[in-house]
Amino acid sequence: MERTVPRLRAVAQALVPPIDGGRLRFRGGLVALPIFLVINLLYPLSLQQADWVETSAHLSYVAALAMLFGTIVGNGRMDLRRAGALGAALGTFVVLILTIYADSGGTLRERAAIVAVHVNNWLTQVVAGEAATDPTAFVLFLGASVWAASYMGSLALAREHRVWDAILLCGFCLVVNVSLALTSLIFDLVVFTLCTLVLLTR
């Protein structure tokens, strides 16, 4: 038993290396942190303004959590492959949980069952060649895109300290949403551009 505990601890440290607290930092200091947060929140906020689906208010929380975890992992010593796998696992969990809570009322089990039924109905319609009308799968896709853009951008900024790597995917998603939206979202692009320029000077 005494030998088992150190071995398990060694395995855990090998799979998830500890975060070096002395290296935990943000490019540009604390002043740039809210600016980068605004950059990450612009994409989910633009999705809400585009009004693609009714259930989209939780996407801002997805972006904020993705930025938090991406910054923490980016300042750690975990290699890029493990960081990507960890981000995918965390993103799946966060997007599912927040979508379940945002989609309907009731207990967690009841909400999860409702979301599962909606996704199953969507898959059944797609396989049958019918027009899928349930928006739940699309909400999950939007949540995944928000998580990927914010997590990868935060990870790149924390590890490589290059702003362009951090804003590339988020900016691409924002431009696509603005170009496809039926409402004018030019103001979001203007704010995104200004925040990016300020972050580049930090």
Query: 58-72: per-residue pLDDT in tens?
Result: 899 999 999 999 988
Contact residues for 47 (Cβ-Cβ < 8 A; gap 6+): 56, 59, 142, 146, 177
Residue with tokens 């997007």: 95
Let me know if residue 176 belongs to a domain. yes
Evaluate if residue 151 carries a pLDDT over 60: yes
Least confident of 129-138, 151-160, 189-198: 129-138
pLDDT exceeds cutoff 60 at 4: yes
Q: Let me know if residue 157 belongs to a domain.
A: yes
The answer to whether position 7 is within a domain reads: no
pLDDT given for residue 5 in this prediction: 60
In the predicted structure, residue 44 carries a pLDDT above the cut 80: yes
pTM score, whole prediction: 0.81
Q: Is residue 4 in a domain?
A: no
Reported as a pLDDT band with limits 50, 70 and 90, residue 134 is confident
Confidence of residue 194 (pLDDT cuts 50, 70, 90): very high
Per the domain annotation, does 11 fall within a domain? Answer: no
Q: State how far the Cα of 183 lies from the Cα of 185, in Å rounded to an integer.
A: 6
Q: 90 in a domain, yes or no?
A: yes
Q: Give CA torsion, residues 133, 151, 64, 162, to 10 deg.
A: -130
Q: What is the 3-state composition of the chain as percent helix, strand, coil, each rounded to the nearest 5?
A: 75, 0, 25
Query: How many domains are contained in the chain?
Result: 1
The mean per-residue pLDDT over the stretch 117-130 comes to 85
Which of the two residues, 202 and 179, has the higher pLDDT score?
Answer: 179
Per-residue pLDDT at 192: 93
CA atoms within 13 Å, Cβ hemisphere of 71: 18
Range of the structural domain that residue 186 is part of: 36-77+86-200
> Is residue 8 domain-resident?
no
Domain presence at residue 13: no
